[in-house]
Amino acid sequence: MKVRLANRNDAPCLAELHEQSSAKQPGGFMFRLGRKFLSKYYRFLIDDGSSLILCATDDSGRLIGFVAGALDAEGRMESLKKRRLQLFLASLPALLRHPSLIREVLARQNSESVDESGTGYVVQAGAHEEFWAWIPEHNGGGAIELHLKWLSLMRLLGAETISGEVDKVNDAIMRTHRMLGAKVVKEFVTPDGRERVLIQYRLK
């Protein structure tokens, strides 16, 4: 396994892996907006100076996993807001097929940060882990090794704590985060009824 930072050419592969991973997790949302949307989304994140995406590849160079997050979640969100029109156009095919997604998109745009409110979806400020994906057939310790390297890099870049969210139904993911040192800070319910926990890694 080789580990490197993501580049713009990785966006389609990141989108595919995100889609494959989310489809197996109860409560996944962003993958429902389509691979075209995800590819555009990750391309914007890669261009954004506050985001950090670390990739794992096999010996042939195939992407087998990644961890995505940001040193400044608020800055990342502001950057994405400036590209709302492009993201909307990329998601339009999915929205036309499933109009109910429009309401869910608006609910997320208008939600508050879960560290400051009893409702919401994600933390919207500070260092934040957004997504961790791994190809199932590449089992073993590679996914954990990649995550630990991402945490170390975030620490080197100045992050003292990193927040993230996990749906309660994803027991295996929650157990792994606990094993790696994450602490549960808060339990909450999203506006669409999902029970989630806010976790935090203390790096310093």
CATH number at 16 reads 3.40.630.30
d(CA 107, CA 105): 5
Residue 50 belongs to what H/E stretch?
none
Task: Note whether residue 192 is domain-resident.
Answer: no
Domains held by the chain: number? 1
Per-residue pLDDT of the chain (204 residues), as tens digits, is 999 999 999 999 999 999 988 877 777 789 999 999 999 999 999 998 889 999 999 989 999 999 999 999 999 999 999 999 999 999 999 999 999 999 999 988 888 898 887 678 999 999 999 999 998 777 667 999 999 999 999 999 999 999 999 999 988 899 999 999 999 999 999 988 889 999 999 998
- Candidates 168, 73, 189, 183; CA nearest to 127 is 73
Which strands, in side-by-side order, build the sheet including 183-189?
A: 2-5, 51-57, 63-70, 128-134, 161-167, 195-202, 183-189
Residue 141 belongs to what H/E stretch?
none
Task: Note whether residue 180 is domain-resident.
Answer: no
Task: Note whether residue 172 is domain-resident.
Answer: no
Task: Note whether residue 52 is domain-resident.
Answer: yes
pTM score: 0.92
Range of the domain at 17: 2-164
